[in-house]
Structure 1
């Protein structure tokens, strides 16, 4: 078996994994980054999820490097795309003019920009990136990871990776069970956490948020791009959960905050919420005539949320069955829209909807992996609970302050329907901080979380899981590992020793990480 060593090994090329690699390389560390998909970038790329962000993102509330990423996306479009004269001078160009994001953009652009940001370190030899490799083994003791075995998907070749620090930046927290790190899954009990929206009864580790297999489409009126009928179409055509107001393949779903039945529209009409504009990544009106025959949009809607079972900590066959179920649901949604979906003109179906496999870089047209909203979460030295971020609990317009802040973020508490058959939980939150204690396992050691696997609960994961927060988490983890290498200390020392914590927080601020919200 081949052996590779570095100062820091990052398993998982998620949004957090990329941010961690950038941060550690900036401080001169040698880094190995692995990713099981063909593309690095997680939510932004291989899951095809345009950024969900808060309303102040253009001014504050994100790290300098995340803001640099956003500006490089805009620069990419200005440099290589035939924008209209008006669009080219928009300082806050939003390529898709989506309802969900101030900078909705193509996953291929996201991947190109992330590769470019990492390129100087990769070309110098400071960074080595291995795509198509998955963690399959770990040599560890009492929280101290000595080596991680990764296996190349397809060939079965293996490598042993070792470093002074190991970061788990996988979408599901894959290293935690391999390394014997204590962790939590699913929904906690209110008796355990005291959270107003936690389960009233016993905790349920299998109660996790739905996953979604996203895909991209454009629309060519008058053409027929109907896909082959998916094998599970008849099941999904009839399926209706007992908490859902109509069949899932319909234009109706619960409004997440009120749970009242609401009607959606594909294209804008009659004041209805347009699913087409929701996560649109190309607004063809921003580009010169003829550049795009159609808008392009990402389908990540209530209609293709899959909640029939979890994909974490279940036997391999069951996991594959649910992953295929999510895939079949998305294909069935597309087929239903192409053939049977009611139209305002009284007809049925939009056969001109064209699956854009090129956008996702796959043969079947769907994203390279499902969108994972909820990961395994470390049992941390400090766990962020709803009481810290819900304004009904804090009684203020800001969340509970943390002396050990390593960043900030904001998003409402947004939980999609769950594998236990629970409906949306959508609750206000307030601008919050990311405490260092939530990044340090109770056991200590040299493994750090760098994705959605920090010390949150099922409830607070709902506001800590979005793109800019995950980037901040990964960046803070990468800087923490580099700082500890420079100081000859451990993350637990930084958390416990006031002088070390102050020095680390100064480093974070020097690197462009905001530790508190402006009043």
Structure 2
């Protein structure tokens, strides 16, 4: 196994929705930062799983997800790569996004390592000393002062011995996964309303033409004319933290995507000449591990729009639980114009002194997680984690010992809404 002679201040594990802002924030705050990504591109769910659009970042008309998220959306808008749907949802070009994310990170001074899988951590006492990585050059050990888990599944935290929970309390079942797909060459003018499409879908399910357990058809327009994005497959009973199970999920997700494509062409006006433009390269995962920290965010925190003294990010998205058992979606909304705050304590895992979380796997209940998992909120969580990590590296402190007031002050100066 090769050893890396370089020492990084901050090592970010995962280059997705939380990892990019974490790395950029750490680098901009003076930390020598390495971003390790298992794929050959950044963006995670937005690019590899084709998850879109960015869900609402507004509380009423007030933007509550700002900072680096707002900055990057501005970069995409400048290039003409975004669109608004229902006045609140931000569509984007996932292909060009890959290039813009490269530029966004490299310009900040972040070092990138693609096609690298973290296989284990080296831990001494309560601190991670290094991560063990496998890439095209073989195994390598890379050392750092502070580490950020932006893997989505909490892989690094679990390797380091942080406690975690999975799924809902009664049976540990997680929200289903979804394979997104896109269709083009649609006659949008002939396309029926959502209500009529759902009626056609329901009839097809009753005729057993469709095995997809989802109760309706969920779709969004894209930035490309005459193209529709479908987030409507539903793979239940599988796990993203088990390789065999995840493989089964990928196969079933693509089967459902083809099933839906055939249904739309056969049964829905306007789709007669439609083409299958793209099936997501990998399945979208809503839920897996939730790493326990010094506070566990709850459904009551979300729905009561609770604020806290150590908040580092905010959210206004509803509780949105896709039924782990099959059909049905549990939607519970906040009062219009309100938002909840996410404590710093939720991103500092137990039992690991120099690790921060920057993904959907932060400390929360199954219900609260269903709200905070969306990409705009995770962007802000990542920015907070990266900023805190740079402070830890500079001050030589444990993650839990950072002064939240000073962290909040820095985040506000950076344009974050906390």
- TM-score tier by shorter-chain length is 0.7 to 0.9
Mapping for residues 220-239 of structure 1, pairs under 5 Å: none
Structure 2 segments unaligned to the other structure (5+ residues): 188-201
Partner of 1:38: 40
The normalised TM-score by structure 1 is 0.71
From 392, 395, 410, the counterpart of 1:507: 410
From 337, 340, 349, the counterpart of 1:432: 340
| Partner SS, residue 140 of structure 1 | strand
Partner of 2:155: 174
| C-alpha distance in structure 2 between counterparts of 1:219 and 1:416, whole Å | 30
Distance of aligned partners of 1:248 and 1:77 in 2 relative to their CA distance in 1, 3 Å threshold: farther
From 268, 275, 294, the counterpart of 1:354: 275
Partner of 1:151: 134
Mapping for residues 380-395 of structure 1, pairs under 5 Å: 380-390=293-303, 394=304
Distance of aligned partners of 1:246 and 1:445 in 2 relative to their CA distance in 1, 3 Å threshold: farther
Q: What's the CA shift string for 1:5-42, capped at 9, x where partnerless? A: 31111111111000001101111211111112222012
Matched, 1:115 2:102: yes
Distance of aligned partners of 1:251 and 1:461 in 2 relative to their CA distance in 1, 3 Å threshold: closer
| C-alpha distance in structure 1 between counterparts of 2:247 and 2:47, whole Å | 22
Mapping for residues 83-232 of structure 1, pairs under 5 Å: 94-95=82-83, 97-99=84-86, 102-121=89-108, 126-152=109-135, 155=136, 157-188=138-169, 203-205=170-172, 207-219=173-185
Distance of aligned partners of 1:56 and 1:410 in 2 relative to their CA distance in 1, 3 Å threshold: closer
Matched, 1:484 2:392: yes
| C-alpha distance in structure 1 between counterparts of 2:121 and 2:209, whole Å | 41
Q: Quote how far apart the aligned CAs of 1:220 are.
A: 5.7
Partner of 1:67: 70
Partner of 2:199: none
| Partner SS, residue 389 of structure 2 | helix
| C-alpha distance in structure 1 between counterparts of 2:28 and 2:209, whole Å | 47
Partner of 1:15: 17
Distance of aligned partners of 1:318 and 1:253 in 2 relative to their CA distance in 1, 3 Å threshold: closer
Partner of 1:370: 283
Contact 1:212–1:326 (CA under 8 A) maintained in structure 2: yes
From 202, 222, 239, the counterpart of 1:281: 222
Q: Quote how far apart the aligned CAs of 1:352 are.
A: 2.4
| Partner SS, residue 164 of structure 1 | strand
Distance of aligned partners of 1:204 and 1:355 in 2 relative to their CA distance in 1, 3 Å threshold: same
| C-alpha distance in structure 2 between counterparts of 1:251 and 1:24, whole Å | 42
Partner of 1:257: none
| Partner SS, residue 360 of structure 2 | coil
| C-alpha distance in structure 1 between counterparts of 2:209 and 2:146, whole Å | 45
Partner of 2:257: 330
| C-alpha distance in structure 1 between counterparts of 2:350 and 2:414, whole Å | 27
Q: Quote how far apart the aligned CAs of 1:336 are.
A: 3.6
Distance of aligned partners of 1:329 and 1:489 in 2 relative to their CA distance in 1, 3 Å threshold: same
Q: Which shows bigger deviation, 30-39 or 321-330?
A: 321-330
| C-alpha distance in structure 2 between counterparts of 1:58 and 1:18, whole Å | 27
Partner of 1:342: 267
Contact 2:67–2:416 (CA under 8 A) maintained in structure 1: yes
Structure 1 segments unaligned to the other structure (5+ residues): 79-93, 189-202, 222-239, 255-261, 265-274, 285-294, 357-364, 495-499
The normalised TM-score by structure 2 is 0.87
Matched, 1:416 2:322: yes
Distance of aligned partners of 1:37 and 1:332 in 2 relative to their CA distance in 1, 3 Å threshold: farther
Distance of aligned partners of 1:247 and 1:462 in 2 relative to their CA distance in 1, 3 Å threshold: farther
| Partner SS, residue 22 of structure 1 | helix
Q: Quote how far apart the aligned CAs of 1:279 are.
A: 2.0
Equivalent residue pairs, number = 397
Q: Quote how far apart the aligned CAs of 1:108 are.
A: 1.1
Contact 1:213–1:366 (CA under 8 A) maintained in structure 2: yes
Distance of aligned partners of 1:208 and 1:143 in 2 relative to their CA distance in 1, 3 Å threshold: farther
Distance of aligned partners of 1:486 and 1:307 in 2 relative to their CA distance in 1, 3 Å threshold: same
Q: What's the CA shift string for 1:209-243, capped at 9, x where partnerless? A: 1111112221267xxxxxxxxxxxxxxxxxx9xxx
Distance of aligned partners of 1:112 and 1:58 in 2 relative to their CA distance in 1, 3 Å threshold: farther
| C-alpha distance in structure 1 between counterparts of 2:88 and 2:275, whole Å | 23
From 21, 24, 27, the counterpart of 1:25: 27
| C-alpha distance in structure 2 between counterparts of 1:164 and 1:14, whole Å | 21
